[in-house]
Amino acid sequence: MDLTLPKIIAHRGAPHEAPENTLPALDAANKLGAKWVEFDVMLTLDDVPVIIHDKTLNRTTNGIGRVSKTDYATLKMLDAGSWFSLEFSNTKIPTLEQYLDKAQQLGLGVNIEMKAQAGKEEKLAEQIISLLEKYWNQSLPTPLISSFSVENLIPLKNLACPYPIAYNTDSWHDCCRDIATVLNCFSIHMNKQQITKARVLENKKHNLHTLAYTVNSKTEADKLFELGVSAIFSDFPNML
Instruction: Pick one of 84, 163, 213, 236: the residue that binds ligand G3P (CB under 6 A).
Output: 213
- 12 or 177: CB nearest ligand G3P: 12
Which of residues 30 and 147 has its CB atom nearest to ligand G3P in the complex? 147
Q: Per rule CB under 5 A, is residue 235 in the interface with Mg ion?
A: no
**Which of residues 17, 113, 121, 235 is near ligand G3P by CB under 6 A?**
113
Partners of 56 in the β-ladder: 66
- Assess 236 for contact with ligand G3P (CB under 6 A): no
Q: Which residue of the chain is nearest Mg ion when measured via CB?
A: 113
Q: How far is CA 159 from the centre of its chain?
A: 20
Distance in Å from the first CA to the final CA of the chain: 26
Residue with Cβ nearer ligand G3P (90 or 217)? 217
Contact call for residue 113 and Mg ion (CB under 5 A): yes
40 binds Mg ion per the rule CB under 5 A: yes
Q: Are 166 and 146 in contact (CB under 8 A)?
A: yes
Cα separation of 72 and 43, whole Å?
Answer: 9
Residue 124: DSSP 8-state: H
Catalytically active residues, by annotation: 11, 53
Region for residue 119 given its phi and psi (left: phi exceeds 0; alpha: psi -120 to 50; beta: otherwise): left
Query: Of 218, 238, 222, 212, which is closest to residue 17 (Cα–Cα)?
Result: 238
> Judged by CB, which is closer to Mg ion: 17, or 113?
113
Instruction: Evaluate whether 37 touches 112 at the Cβ level (below 8 Å).
Output: no
Q: Does position 22 bind ligand G3P by CB under 6 A?
A: no
Give which of ligand G3P, Mg ion, none residue 146 binds (C-beta under 5 to 8 Å, depending on kind).
ligand G3P
Q: Which does 213 bind (CB under 5 to 8 A by kind): Mg ion, ligand G3P, none?
A: ligand G3P
**Residue 216 and residue 235 in contact, taking contact as beta carbons nearer than 8 Å:** yes
Smallest distance from ligand G3P to CB 76, Å? 22
* Contact call for residue 99 and ligand G3P (CB under 6 A): no
Asked if 152 touches ligand G3P (CB under 6 A), the answer is: no
Out of 35, 102, 177, 189, which residue is the one contacting ligand G3P (CB under 6 A)? 189
Beta strand ranges found along the chain (DSSP E): 8-11, 36-43, 49-51, 109-114, 144-147, 165-169, 187-191, 209-213, 231-234
Question: Strand, coil or helix: what is 122?
Answer: helix
Q: Please report, as ranges, the residues that interact with ligand G3P according to CB under 6 A.
A: 11, 38, 40, 53, 113, 146, 168, 189, 213, 233
